Amino acid sequence: MAGLAAVFGSGAMTNSIEEIENADCILIIGSNTSVAHPLIATRVFRAKAKGAKVIVADPRRIPIILQSDLHLQQNLGTDVALINGLMHIILKKGWQDQTFIDERTENFEELKKVVEHYSPEKVSEITGISVEDLEKAAEYYAKAERATILYTMGITQHTTGVDNVKSLAHLAMLTGNLGKESTGINPLRGQNNVQGACDMGGLPNVYTGYQAVVDQAVKQKFEEAWGATLSDKIGLTATEMFPAVLNGKMKALVILGENPVVSDADCLHVEKALKALDFLLVIDIFKTPTAEMAHVVLPGAAFAEKEGTFSNTERRVQLLRKAAEPPGEAKPDWQIIQELSSRFGYPMDYASPRAIMEEIAKLTPSYGGITYDRLQGDGLQWPCPNTEHPGTKFLHQGRFTRGKGLFSAIEYKPAAEMADEEYPFQLTTGRVHVHYHTGTMTRNSPSLEREISECFLEMHPEDASELKVGEGDWVMIASRRGSVSSRVKLTDVAGRKTVFMPFHFLESRANILTNPTFDPVAKIPEFKVCAVKIEKMDRSDKSISSPP
Partner 1 sequence: MSTKIKEAVRALLTEGKIKGFLGLREEKGNIMPYLFCDPKELDALSLGDWKKPGDTRYPLNQLMIKLAMAYPNETFAVLIRGCDERGLKELFKWKQLDEEKIVLIGLGCPDELAKACECEKPFPDSLIDGPKGEKVDSQKVAQVEGMDLDTRLQFWKAEFNRCIKCFGCRNICPMCFCNECSIEEDQLVGTGEIPPANPTFHLARAIHMVGRCIDCGLCEEACPADIPLRTLYKKVGEIIHQEFGYKTGLSVDEKSPFNIIEVK
**Site residues (vs partner 1, CB under 8 A):** 34-35, 38-39, 41-42, 45-46, 49, 63, 66-67, 319, 321, 376-378, 432-434, 447, 450-452
Nearer to partner 1, 67 or 514 (CB): 67
State the nearest-atom distance from the C-beta of 277 to partner 1, in Å: 38
Nearer to partner 1, 47 or 57 (CB): 47
Size of the chain in residues = 548
CA-based torsion, 167, 414, 268, 433: positive or negative: positive
Nearer to partner 1, 66 or 355 (CB): 66
Nearer to partner 1, 189 or 374 (CB): 374
Please tell me the distance from the alpha carbon of residue 381 to that of residue 370, in angstroms, as a whole number: 9
State the nearest-atom distance from the C-beta of 447 to partner 1, in Å: 8
Q: What is the DSSP string of 235-284?
A: ---HHHHHHHHHTTS--EEEEES--HHHHSTTHHHHHHHHHH-SEEEEEE
- Say if CB 238 and CB 255 are below 8 A apart: no
State the nearest-atom distance from the C-beta of 217 to partner 1, in Å: 37
Nearer to partner 1, 124 or 152 (CB): 152
- Say if CB 517 and CB 452 are below 8 A apart: no
Residue 26: CA count within 13 A, CB half-sphere: 35
State the nearest-atom distance from the C-beta of 166 to partner 1, in Å: 32
Nearer to partner 1, 376 or 543 (CB): 376
State the nearest-atom distance from the C-beta of 32 to partner 1, in Å: 10
Residues 6+ apart with CB under 8 A from 261: 267, 270, 271, 274, 288, 289, 290, 293
State the nearest-atom distance from the C-beta of 442 to partner 1, in Å: 13
- Say if CB 333 and CB 283 are below 8 A apart: yes
Q: What is the DSSP string of 216-230?
A: HHHHHHHHHHHTS--
- 3-state SS class at 544: helix
State the nearest-atom distance from the C-beta of 63 to partner 1, in Å: 5
State the nearest-atom distance from the C-beta of 49 to partner 1, in Å: 7
State the nearest-atom distance from the C-beta of 433 to partner 1, in Å: 5
Please tell me the distance from the alpha carbon of residue 486 to that of residue 466, in angstroms, as a whole number: 18
Please tell me the distance from the alpha carbon of residue 238 to that of residue 293, in angstroms, as a whole number: 17
Which residues are paired to 499 by β-bridges? 427
Nearer to partner 1, 451 or 462 (CB): 451
Nearer to partner 1, 373 or 422 (CB): 373
State the nearest-atom distance from the C-beta of 450 to partner 1, in Å: 7
Buried b (16+ CB within 10 A) or exposed e, 462-500: ebbeeeebeeebbbbbbbebbbbbbbbbbbebbbeebbb
Please tell me the distance from the alpha carbon of residue 234 to that of residue 339, in angstroms, as a whole number: 25
The letter for the amino acid at 534 is I
State the nearest-atom distance from the C-beta of 452 to partner 1, in Å: 5
Please tell me the distance from the alpha carbon of residue 372 to that of residue 361, in angstroms, as a whole number: 10
- Say if CB 53 and CB 24 are below 8 A apart: yes
State the nearest-atom distance from the C-beta of 470 to partner 1, in Å: 17
Nearer to partner 1, 34 or 160 (CB): 34
Nearer to partner 1, 34 or 96 (CB): 34
Nearer to partner 1, 153 or 434 (CB): 434
Please tell me the distance from the alpha carbon of residue 314 to that of residue 71, in angstroms, as a whole number: 26
The letter for the amino acid at 189 is R
Nearer to partner 1, 22 or 401 (CB): 22
DSSP 542: H
Nearer to partner 1, 46 or 536 (CB): 46
State the nearest-atom distance from the C-beta of 376 to partner 1, in Å: 4
Tell which residue, 307, 342, 335, has the closest CA to residue 322.
307
- 3-state SS class at 14: coil
Please tell me the distance from the alpha carbon of residue 336 to that of residue 348, in angstroms, as a whole number: 11
